Amino acid sequence: MQNSFCNQKFPLYFSGEVVHGYGRGSTQLGYPTANIDTVSLKELKEVPKGVYFGYCRLNEQGEKGDVEPMVMSLGENRMFGNTETTAEVHVLRQYDHNFYGAHLQVSVIGYIRKMQMFRSVDELIEAIGNDIRVARAELEKPELSAFREDPYFK
Ligand code: RBF
Ligand code: MG
């Protein structure tokens, strides 16, 4: 499958350990993100920066979790003056704990938009809300339903 706005081939699989980020996602934005360790990021070097959607699974203490929908940002968080590339996954499910040290498997199945520089944090928050609506709508499409059952998650 290929997306018309982005020449990346999907699905794109990667996995890695959840590491500490800047701690802004949950506090400032209201959208907590699991940041993936930089070793795994090398696998993403050739992948265009941007906002993506797909599925992920969180494996904690060796226990496989459920496959959950997610949105992901890949790039520099220019809004906050960061210059290093990060991959951050926001899981579309409410959790009451953080994921530090957990192993996250990710299957990226589509591209949403480019990373942007917004005029305010409020505009970024609004954009993320919209990304989530786009992701949910895409993932409801029958032609994408098989990705939840991907053998990658078996
Ligand atoms: N940061 C940006 O600077 N520009 C963006 O367009 C942007 N889009 C994002 C979209 C999603 C779905 C998510 C989860 C994050 C996005 N971020 C973006 C990253 C955001 O700045 C980051 O998660 C927080 O600063 C916490 O590190
Ligand atoms: Mg984070």
17-35 pLDDT, tens digit each: 999 998 898 899 999 999 9
Confidence (pLDDT) at 1: 44
d(CA 35, CA 69): 16
For the CA atoms of the chain, what is the radius of gyration? 15
d(CA 114, CA 49): 7
- The amino acid at residue 7 is N
Pocket test for ligand 1, best of 29, 77, 93, 122 (most atoms within 8 A of CB): 77
Confidence (pLDDT) at 98: 87
Q: Is residue 154 part of a domain?
A: no
Q: Are 144 and 150 in contact (CB under 8 A)?
A: no
Q: Is residue 28 part of a domain?
A: yes
| Nearest ligand for residue 27 CA | 1
Q: Are 105 and 48 in contact (CB under 8 A)?
A: no
Q: Is residue 153 part of a domain?
A: no
Ligand 1 contacts (CB < 6 A) are 21-22, 24-25, 29, 31, 33, 51, 71, 73, 77-80, 88, 90, 115-116, 124, 127-128, 131
Report the predicted TM-score, pTM, of the whole model to 2 decimal places: 0.94
In the reported structure, the alpha carbon of residue 36 is separated from the centroid of ligand 1 by a whole-number distance in angstroms of 14
Q: Is residue 89 part of a domain?
A: yes
Give catalytic residue positions: 88
Q: Whose CA is nearest to atom 19 of ligand 1?
A: 77
Q: Is residue 84 part of a domain?
A: yes
In the reported structure, the alpha carbon of residue 13 is separated from the centroid of ligand 2 by a whole-number distance in angstroms of 20
Q: Which domain holds residue 9?
A: 2-147
Looking at the 3D structure of the chain, how many domains does it have? 1
Question: Which residues in the chain land under pLDDT 50?
Answer: 1-2
Q: Is residue 61 part of a domain?
A: yes
Q: Whose CA is nearest to atom 13 of ligand 1?
A: 73
Structure tokens at 143: 């032609």
Phi, psi of 119 (to 5 degrees): -75, -25
State the CATH number of the domain containing residue 14: 2.40.30.30
